[in-house]
Amino acid sequence: MDESIETVCGNGSGNGSNNGGEPGAGHPPTPPRLHRVVVLLDASRASLAALELAADCAARRGAELLALFVEEKDLLRCAGYPWAQEIGLSGTVRKIEASELEAAMRDRAAAAQAALARAADGRLLKWQLQVTRGRVAPATLAITRADDLLLLGRVGYARARGLRIGSTVQVLALEAPGPVIVCTETSARAAAVRTAVLAEPGTAGLETLTRAHHLFEAHERLSTVLVNATDEAAVAPLRQWLTAHHPQAQLLHVPHLSDEVIAHLVEERGIEKLLFSRRHPLLAEGLVCDLVERLRIPVTIVP
């Protein structure tokens, strides 16, 4: 079982309220209001970039900012074996000392706490850092709720493919109870962010659009909705919904969607943020990861 080691809190002047749109009559139920913005910290450059975006988001929503730092117990267990070694980027092999590893984790946790305090205090936020020992994905899933917005930074590096999402991000994107934003280190903070939604035909697509509608912030403008359908009857409810809520958005029929086609349309139309549901029939587990990995913009994944 995961073990909670420490919780550190800070108080700003955040009011804990939440901005949300009103549901339209006859549309899918309104998603839970978001009361916390949760960010996974490990003091890496990617997670610190996610922290800045999480703090901005919490400030705009008047929400509490919760950061989680996980000390990986599997790594600590491995360090206890006398034959445990690590290989550096230069190829140098050295023995892993458990005491050094624990000290390094404490240093990273302290650095994460300092970064969190700076980000939150500068925006007058109520914040909390929870330090836990366990496995990263299960520990994160254990504390997140359906009314949390979880922000993750991309992790990992592969020379042949550039920045790639890590296995932890894959699990959390697919299993978190609430919406998840996979950030980039250069996530847009423009005055107006062009956003697209990948929607399913029919009622399922209405639910995805409704969830998107309640996640949009004032600076985000829905410009495009992609739907894989050729039957006008299947997309007519989506068109009616857009006319009522986002009349400026264009509905595109794309009968043969793939991660490559989506990436091409995102680039062609200047999309700066993409939202889709993990329930989309085209997005089996592998395709979700492929799509998030291919895109170089923030991606929001809703239940």
Q: In angstroms, rounded to a whole number, what is the distance separating the alpha carbons of residues 299 and 275?
A: 6
- pLDDT at residue 171 is higher than 60: yes
Among 12-16, 124-128, 294-298, where is mean pLDDT lowest?
A: 12-16
Residue 31, both tokens: 């998603």
Given this model, what pLDDT does residue 83 score? Answer: 55
**Mean pLDDT, rounded, for 108-124:** 85
pTM here is: 0.80
Is residue 21 pLDDT above 60, yes or no?
no
- The helix (H) or strand (E) run that includes residue 8 is strand 3-10
CA-closest candidate to residue 152, choices 35, 40, 298, 290: 40
What average pLDDT does the structure give for the chain?
Answer: 80
Q: Using one digit for the tens of pLDDT, what is the confidence trace for 122-165?
A: 788 889 999 888 888 899 999 999 999 999 887 643 333 344 45
Beta bridge pairs of residue 276: 198, 301
Give the span between the Cα atoms of 275 and 78, in whole angstroms: 38
Report the distance separating Cα 250 and Cα 253, nearest Å: 10
Nearest-angstrom CA–CA distance, 154 and 48: 11
Question: How much is the pLDDT for 42?
Answer: 78
As a whole number, mean pLDDT of residues 50-70 equals 90
Strand pairing partners for 128? 9, 66
The whole-angstrom separation of Cα 63 and Cα 48 is: 19
**13 compared with 105, residue with greater pLDDT:** 105
Indicate the range of 114-123, 187-196, 212-221 predicted with least confidence. 187-196
Going from the C-alpha of 120 to that of each of 64, 65, 145, the distances in angstroms are 10, 8, 21
CB 2 within 8 A of CB 138: yes
Asked if CATH classification 3.40.50.620 holds for the domain at 193-302, the reply, yes or no, is: yes
- Average pLDDT for 168-196: 82
d(CA 91, CA 203): 54
Give the CATH class of 3-183: alpha beta
Contacts of 41 (CB under 8 A, 6+ apart): 47, 48, 51, 67, 68, 69, 112, 115, 116, 129
Helix axes 285-294, 259-268, angle to 10 degrees: 30
- Give me the percent of the chain exceeding a pLDDT of 70: 73
Residue 112 has pLDDT above 80, yes or no: yes
Inter-axis angle of helices 285-294 and 167-175, to 10 degrees? 120
Secondary structure E strands in 228-298 = 250-253, 273-277
Q: 201-233: per-residue pLDDT in tens?
A: 999 999 999 999 999 988 899 999 999 887 888
**Reported confidence tier of residue 22, pLDDT bands at 50, 70, 90:** very low
As a whole number of angstroms, the distance between CA 274 and CA 179 comes to: 13
Query: Cβ neighbours of residue 264 under 8 Å, at least 6 residues apart?
Result: none
Give CATH 3.40.50.620 domain extents, the chain. Answer: 3-183, 193-302
